[in-house]
Amino acid sequence: MRRVLTAATTALTLTTAGTMLAGTPGQAAPTGWGRPVVSAAPQPGAPGLGDSYFPDYGNGGYDVEHYDVRLRYEPATDLLTGTTTILATATADLSTFNLDFLLDVESVRVNGWAASTSTAGAHELVVTPARTVTRGQQLTIVVRYSGVPSEALVNGYTGWTRTDDGALAVNEPESAWWWFPSNDHPLDKATYDISVSVPTGVEVISNGVQPRPPLAEAGNRSRWIWRTTSPTATYLAFMAIGQYDIVTDTTPSGQPVINAYSTSLGALGPAARASIERTAEIVDWESGIFGPYPFEAQGGVAGPVDGISFALETQTRPVYGPGFWRRGANTYVVTHELAHQWFGDSVSVADWRNIWLNEGFASYAEWLWSEEQGEGTAQEVFDFTYASYPADDEFWQVLPGDPGAARVFDNAVYDRGAMTLHQLRLAVGDDAFFEILPTWTAERRYGNGTIEQFQALSERISGLDLDDLFTTWLFTAGRPDVASAARKAAPPVEPRSWAKIRESHHLMSH
């Protein structure tokens, strides 16, 4: 999570672009048998999916099943060239459709026919196919492109991180724009084949499994091949390119574990390993609470010292910035990012306004881990968190259920978000609470959810009206009152987990 372009900076100029490119409105439908075929003229696909925070993220008119992202990268110059093949289905009759993308496009073909393209808005590629697209049609969209992602700026910003020895394509919610054309919203998940040719000696880590070792290519190069067979949101696809030590293993349940450690970590390396190598153990523990692990592989990537400062729950294999290891091993950040595999990755936000469904839950997983580790019960962490923010602190003015586009990763979404789940647990009792969590992940597996749907499920399972609780904790400014547990005369004792939880949240949020 981290670093978001606010809606204001990428605002919609796009309906205009769509209209411009609508072609010949009212063009007669073809007729064959003497009577007119009743058919509306194909329309431009919408330039966004109507997200309440980021209205121009994603696109309308089609649904992607698969991305084949085939790249060539030069660490010395940050030059990225590639061909992405998108398998999609049209959901409307289309005269044009958009992809979200920033690099220079050399050509686009739609079902083999050359298409014309133009750019619009902050990150829109408008594709005009040679033949109109009909609803239900299978589309094979081939985009050839090149560019220097670190120099492809939107309002001065790039989500691509160039490092001394490579690059990281790791960011939320914007990441794909800098390396593959896409329908960039969690509402349109797909599977992925990602392959990258780099100079031999450079490593490339991505999502899912590595079906074969790197293939030698001409010019002393190697092509790394990765495959993701579970539906994946675009922002959860990633690449880490550089100098990495790769550790592979198999879990007791038979899943591949692939971890990677930047060689730049130096003295931070052992703490990174002592944390990330516990991935399979933590996934196993979380599976007992959240339900079956949803994906085909596990792992983690310890990023380089000059890479990202945050961590991101990239699917099957989170990426961690170096700061998490400065005080030694930190299993709290690992617990947090792995909890996202259920809350965020398998069950994704239907709209970015619902970010609490990701960050509140991943943060509460840390509290449960604290209790499991004997470093403070969830109640003790609640009491201390609650007391650590005075009632007049600005913290209490941010609504975790609707923080606003510029505050999607505000600390309140994490800390007050976790407090909300603890209050829910107290209200419904442990039996209902620990039934709600795996029911949510089972019913919405590989899909999307909203806060309102989570509240409805909680009410269904508990039989309680929870409107006051959700309204008070997620949607009302100010510090809520809590019952006696946190109101003892003596200030709460700092749980032993607190320093690492606080430090992790400081790095994750901003």
Q: For residues 129 and 112, what is the distance between their CA atoms, to the nearest angstrom?
A: 10
**Least Å from the CB of residue 90 to Zn ion:** 34
**Least Å from the CB of residue 324 to Zn ion:** 12
Nearer to Zn ion, 183 or 363 (CB): 363
C-beta nearest to Zn ion: residue: 362
> Interface mask (CB under 5 A) for Zn ion, residues 64-83, using x and -?
--------------------
Strands 244-250 and 113-120 turn out to be unpaired
Q: Tell me which amino acid residue 69 is.
A: V
If one asks whether residue 312 binds Zn ion (CB under 5 A), the answer comes out as no
**Least Å from the CB of residue 343 to Zn ion:** 9
**Least Å from the CB of residue 241 to Zn ion:** 23
Omega before residue 403 within 30° of 0, cis: no
Nearer to Zn ion, 60 or 417 (CB): 417
End-to-end Cα separation, the chain, in angstroms: 10
236, 314 in Cβ contact below 8 A?
yes
The rounded radius of gyration (Å) of the Cα atoms in the chain is: 24
If one asks whether residue 1 binds Zn ion (CB under 5 A), the answer comes out as yes
Question: Shortest CA distance to 319 belongs to which of 171, 138, 448?
Answer: 171
Question: Shortest CA distance to 247 belongs to which of 239, 255, 256, 238?
Answer: 256
**Least Å from the CB of residue 389 to Zn ion:** 19
**Least Å from the CB of residue 169 to Zn ion:** 18
**Least Å from the CB of residue 94 to Zn ion:** 36
Which region, judged by CB under 5 A, interacts with Zn ion, from 1-9, 48-56, 256-264, 432-440? Answer: 1-9
**Site residue total, Zn ion (CB under 5 A):** 3
Nearer to Zn ion, 160 or 356 (CB): 356
Question: Shortest CA distance to 86 belongs to which of 105, 66, 104, 70?
Answer: 66
Nearer to Zn ion, 46 or 381 (CB): 381
84, 69 in Cβ contact below 8 A?
yes
Nearer to Zn ion, 333 or 469 (CB): 333
Tell me which DSSP letter residue 162 carries.
Answer: E
Structure tokens given for 103 = 């690099």
Interface with Zn ion in residues 343-372 (CB under 5 A):
359, 362
**Least Å from the CB of residue 508 to Zn ion:** 5
**Least Å from the CB of residue 359 to Zn ion:** 5
Nearer to Zn ion, 139 or 451 (CB): 451
Phi, psi of 456 (to 5 degrees): -60, -40
Nearer to Zn ion, 86 or 419 (CB): 419
Count of beta carbons in the 10 Å neighbourhood of residue 261 = 24
Nearer to Zn ion, 209 or 418 (CB): 418
> Interface mask (CB under 5 A) for Zn ion, residues 414-433, using x and -?
--------------------
Nearer to Zn ion, 177 or 356 (CB): 356
| Beta strands per DSSP E along 111-183 | 113-120, 124-128, 138-147, 160-163, 166-169
Question: Shortest CA distance to 316 belongs to which of 255, 362, 359?
Answer: 255
Structure tokens given for 466 = 């929870």
Footprint on this chain of Zn ion (rule: CB under 5 A): 1, 359, 362
